[in-house]
Structure 1
Amino acid sequence: MDRFKSIFAVGFGGAAGAILRYCVILTAGHSFFPLGTLLINIVGSFLLGMINGYFASKKKSFVFLALGSGFCGGFTTMSTFSQEVVNLLQTSLPLAGMYLGATLLFGLAAGFLGLGLFKKRRGGTL
């Protein structure tokens, strides 16, 4: 793949993902629990699982880069998640643990679920 086109594909997808993340965060609002970021990371894990499952038996393309590295990378957010865990640790250890556990558990489950949608296409293995 042409390097410039690959960079453009990732940048375009990343911009779209970041804009959508911002819109979701605005819609979710702020509360004592970072529900918006939790939902974003779970949905992003599901989408990335689907994208990887779909492209597992295909030649990687600009679409794969735009959707996977770009969109999902711009949509999901490790840095915000980390900062929210730190903030919750300072105010409520149980909420911090719940947020950390929910993000990990539901994020992994969503990723496997997304990947599993294309199980037959890849020969039945995860």
Structure 2
Amino acid sequence: MSYLYVAFGGALGSVLRYFLSLVIPKAAGFPWPTFVANILGCLCIGIFSGMFLKCGTLSPNLKLFLVTGFCGGFTTFSTFANENLALLQSGKIGMFIAYALASFVLGVAACAAGLYLMGFNR
């Protein structure tokens, strides 16, 4: 039964990520849709993790749905890696560095912000 929670959460996250790719343009060759999805996903996983730390009585199935399923389907490391490779192959070294560093730094900061919003300062 736990597979269904992951599957439904993943489906929801994947559809939302696809929606972002339709509404957020790739400006000047920068992969904004993936960038936004990954930063928002980091914020979400921080919030969800804080929620589960704070409320120990929440269902493990809800965690599977939100963290493993939704966040796993919404964020995408494989697309991130592929877009970085494309930037390198097209000679856009500066954009590659900016995208990789901004994704890492803002991703970690967003995850920390999510935990902070839930009352955790670790």
TM-score in same-fold range (> 0.5): yes
- Considering fraction of residues, name the structure with more helix: 2
Aligned to 2:38: 41
Aligned to 2:84: 85
Deviations 1:59-102 (A, max 9, x none): 45211110100000000000000000000111200000000001
Quote the Cα distance in structure 2 between the aligned partners of 1:94 and 1:55. Answer: 39
Quote the Cα distance in structure 1 between the aligned partners of 2:20 and 2:9. Answer: 17
5+ residue gaps, structure 1, are none
CA contact 2:24–2:33 (8 Å) conserved in 1: yes
Paired residues for 1:1-126 under 5 Å: 4=1, 6-31=2-27, 32-57=29-54, 58-59=56-57, 60-91=59-90, 92-119=92-119, 125-126=121-122
Runs of 4+ in 1 over 3 A off after TM superposition: none
5+ residue gaps, structure 2, are none
Q: Percent identity between the aligned chains? A: 38
- Read off the aligned partner of 1:34 and give its amino acid letter: P
Which moves more between the two structures, 51-60 or 110-119? 51-60
Once the two structures are TM-superposed, the CA of residue 29 in structure 1 deviates from its matched residue by 3.2
CA contact 2:9–2:73 (8 Å) conserved in 1: yes
- Secondary structure of the residue aligned to 2:42 is helix
Once the two structures are TM-superposed, the CA of residue 125 in structure 1 deviates from its matched residue by 4.1
Number of residue equivalences: 118
